[in-house]
Structure 1
Amino acid sequence: MARVVFENVRKEYEDVKRGSFTAVAGSSFVIEDKEFVVFVGPSGCGKTTSLRMIAGLEQQTSGDILIGDRVVNQLHPKDRDIAMVFQDYALYPHMTVRENLSFGLKNLKKSKAEIEEKVKSASSILGLDEMLERKPRELSGGQRQRVAVGRAIVRDPQVFLFDEPLSNLDAKLRIQMRVELAELHKRLGATIVYVTHDQVEAMTLGERIVVMNHGVIQQIAPPTELYNNPSNMFVAGFIGSPAMNFIDAQIQGDKAIVEGAAFTLPERMARSMKAYEGRSVILGIRPEHIFGEDFALHVSPEHKLSATVQVVEHLGSENLVYFRVGERMVTAKVHPETNASIGQLKTFIIDLSKAHFFNPDTEVRIIL
């Protein structure tokens, strides 16, 4: 296995209608040996382009890419010692599972004994032993995806590249496959670079996550760091489900004023926010840190907001309650027995100790 390095890598495209545009804007990062790193972001953010540049399927405009100790800028994909798993399974329909697994090794002129050993090992790891003589049409979506992963495993590459491999699976199967991929990484001790648009998938799989938007890396951090200390409003709003709420506020002394309600800031926050005295800021609070008054047992009862309930979503283990604060819609993830109905004037308690503040001009998080 090997580490992957981007050194100020840039990718620009020429478009007849739009002219040139930047897909990846000067990215620099290191993916360590045996690390599982996930690239995440909305469509068009540059995550797949980054993956394809590692694979050699796209040529960077400038900058260097290293796999292991080699600069691979000019190397053909087959010479980069990588294996890629795509969104579609790309299996040969006329071949059995065994033949699909061994096809690439035959092209590499490996011996029959080596091919048999590698196919047997991959089949055992992925639970495909009883399916080796089946054709792809006889397999479920999850089984086909396992075969696609198996074709990568038999290559024994330095780096595994996954391009949204679970997108075509239903919700239940995606959860199952996420668990299997996490276990596979532990077993193989492999360097894995994984691309997804699904932030839940990113949070559950990645040891570190690269969050991208408009070709720019917004933050690289472990999942808990992204959740607890997002660098800006984009990361804060993208990571977490439901998304973080953003509420307009103004700082007055040791208080944050929200729609006429005065929230006394904890001492640490108050000191950090002195520079914003008399200024507008954005208060960020996650839905799980807003409580119905009747179930707010472990937070300060003084940070209250009263609002009219707009929508209630009953999800069984929890309810999502939507209400407006000024011009912004706010979501609260509350106890399922919380008494809330559409049109009701309801009091909510905010756990201000979990709040973030953002500069409204730069959208950067204010370090508290």
Structure 2
Amino acid sequence: MSKTPEAVAAAERWTAHNYHPLPVVIADAEGAWVTDVDGKRYLDCLAGYSALNFGHRHPALIAAAHAQLDRVTLTSRAFIHDQFAEFCQKLTDLTGKDLILPMNTGAEAVETAIKVARKWGYLVKGVRPGQAKIIAMEGNFHGRTTTIVSFSTDPDARDDFGPYTPGFQLVPYGDLAALEAAIDENTVGVLVEPIQGEAGVLVPPAGFLPGVRDLCTRNNVLMLADEIQSGLGRTGDTFACDDEAVVPDMYIMGKALGGGIVPVSAVAADQNVLGVLKPGEHGSTFGGNPLACAVGIAVIDLLRTGEFQERSRELGERLHTGLAKLIGDGVTEVRGRGLWAGVDIDPARMSGRDASVQLMERGVLAKDTHGSTIRLAPPLTITADEVDWALEQFHSVIA
């Protein structure tokens, strides 16, 4: 008798219904594969929304976590531990920035970027007190805190959570003219996802990110790049901004930085930006804890080899070539870069939820967004044969 229905019912009984998960209950995982409570295996093509870029239980990451668990896991930032400096130094090397501020979740990192940009605006740019403005993009997803949902255009994330935090202005994603018109003397930052993930893996027009960089430079505004989903190898580069040789003033990182083991996030910027913070003005008890830093060091070491970026480029091309063959045969559009794709299902065929359930039944885990779009983001450890097998299952469901 299957254990899944009872486990699903128990989860529904004791949990607030803030998610609508697929009816699969995972009990074990390794690499690109997971196994449910009934022993059925699935190819994980979501990878924790890019938190599992290096697969489930990567040996180097698990070894780093085990070793640190035997020593010390938490000190708080009241003290310095022996993993902290190495983590920060290696992350500055990876980003090319002067300083790091470690936090835990992606939303915390975005909140950190917002606070730093505002303080920079007052202390460095000279914006009048209380007037700092940050420009964000329509269709954005930066988290679900009360401040972040204040500039969301997703009704599920925003509705009924007001009153909303002021100080933000929205412009259409990809529209440089609208961005230029919105910038004024009080603008301290432009917050942008190089690729919008939750919106359906939307890739901006060529030249948009360099255009944002240019507008920010000319107007003394900080470019804040949210690379929480797009960064750390997902798109075929270390950061998605790298594809057009754009260097933001601040990188916002999360998800894959914790190796799928612990929540780890950070912002990286130069001294003239992050240096505005003084003791007591921002922090986190768990931010930069020893376990997080030990895992983060191992993640950075994996990225420094370039292997995972190369795998994402090569296997991403294979994935996108296969998905493109379905356009006009159950698929209306495919977007993305590297091992990351947004696939629009013809609504006349089925909904994105129906497609996700049918893929699950065939042993492939993916997830829908905005009704008719499927997001695919397998671990960067996936093999060519596994990509081909996933494409076969996708074709069987959609075509």
Q: Which has the higher strand share?
A: 1
TM over 0.5: no
Q: Scaled by the length of structure 2, what TM-score is found?
A: 0.29
Q: Which has the higher contact order (CA 8 A, sep 6+)?
A: 2
Q: Scaled by the length of structure 1, what TM-score is found?
A: 0.30
Q: Report which of the two structures shows the higher radius of gyration computed on alpha carbons.
A: 1
